[in-house]
Amino acid sequence: MKEKDGRARGEWIELFCFISSSARSLVGEPEIYGPFRLVDTLERIIDLLGRQGVLDDEFLNSEKEKIVEKKFDVMVNRESFIDFLDELVMDFTRELKKEEL
Amino acid sequence: MAGVMDIIKKRRSVRSYTGEPVAKEKIERIIEAANHAPSAGNAYTWKIAVVQDGGLIRKIQSVSPGMLGRPAAILALCNDRKKAIETMGSKGGELFRFMDVAHAAQNICLMGAELGIGSCCIMSFNQDAVGALLEIPPQYRVDYLVALGYQDRDPVAPKKRSVEEAVLSWTGG
């Protein structure tokens, strides 16, 4: 395995650790932590795809910025956080409509 | 010099850091503050694993979903479960050891605030995984994590409740 590939793999393993430990923690944690962990994961995936040069585009980067800006609303304004989730779903849905699957 | 209430109000849960390292002397001062926290039966069954290695911090973070941002240091508060039960009975193992690390963590955060160092207490982490990464001796259990670092933006500010909201009853006085 090339050194660069090894680092790339390490970063994905790091993410998989985050996802699996989140799943385990969520068994006993408040319900709202679930949506938070999922959007946090989304941000991490977009970030990793961009950093590794796999998928780096304007739409994804702007969604990542939106997540960074809004995710902590979960702690201070639950309604605003849910509105943000609604917005996120529709952002990705509009993008999906443009795709040929 | 700031009063106690000023420091208490200054302390916030920080989840975004500059990346600037925290000096060893400051971490030692923070641990000294933790040592002055109350402990059931004066037993002090906890010890602290200090992590300043960037690679290990990342690995611990990857199994600690509640740890956000990239802290400069992690203090892992680890309890000797056997000692907790031996010195304080079954309640020592089930309850007091957690209360003790919570008291210690509060002192850590307050001392950090006085030194201008941001902190965040973390419960959302996998105890087994963090223990394995830290190679903690088997009698110890990682019960609490505190992330430390210099904050790079103001944390969100949840509204704090009033004194009236906090009081369940008030007898006499």
Q: Give me the residue from A13, A14, A24 closest to B126, CB to CB.
A: A24
Q: How far apart are CA B127 and CA B125, in angstroms?
A: 6
Helix orientation angle between A3-26 and B54-62, rounded to the nearest 10 degrees: 40
Contacts of B129 in chain A (CB under 8 A): 17, 21
Tens of pLDDT, residue by residue over A8-17, are 899 999 999 9
Question: Do B65 and A40 lie within an 8 Å CB cutoff?
Answer: yes
Lowest model confidence (mean pLDDT) among B4-8, B79-83, B110-114, B158-162: B158-162
Q: How far apart are CA A68 and CA A40, in angstroms?
A: 8
Question: Do B124 and A15 lie within an 8 Å CB cutoff?
Answer: no
Quote the Cα angle for B153-B154-B158, to 5°. Answer: 145
Instruction: Give how far A74 is from chain B: nearest CA, Å.
Output: 10
Instruction: Give how far A63 is from chain B: nearest CA, Å.
Output: 18
Tens of pLDDT, residue by residue over B29-53, are 999 999 999 999 999 999 999 999 9
Q: How far apart are CA A99 and CA B18, in angstroms?
A: 38
Mean per-residue pLDDT, A67-88: 94
Q: Where are the domains of chain B?
A: 19-153
Mean per-residue pLDDT, A31-41: 96
Contacts of B133 in chain A (CB under 8 A): none
Burial classification of residue A18, based on how many CB atoms lie within 10 Å of its CB (0-12 exposed, 13-18 middle, 19 or more buried): buried
| A19 touches A41 (CB < 8 A) | yes
What residues of A are in the B interface, CB distance below 8 Å? 13-15, 17-18, 21-22, 24-25, 29, 33, 37, 40, 72-73, 75-76
Tens of pLDDT, residue by residue over B97-133, are 999 999 999 999 999 999 999 999 999 999 999 999 9
The answer, yes or no, to whether ipTM is higher than 0.85 is: no
pLDDT tier at B159, thresholds 50, 70, 90: confident
Structure confidence at residue B169 (pLDDT) = 96
Tens of pLDDT, residue by residue over B82-104, are 999 999 899 888 999 999 999 99
Question: Do A17 and B65 lie within an 8 Å CB cutoff?
Answer: no
Structure confidence at residue B157 (pLDDT) = 75
CATH architecture of B19-153: 3-Layer(aba) Sandwich (3.40)
Residue type, B133: L
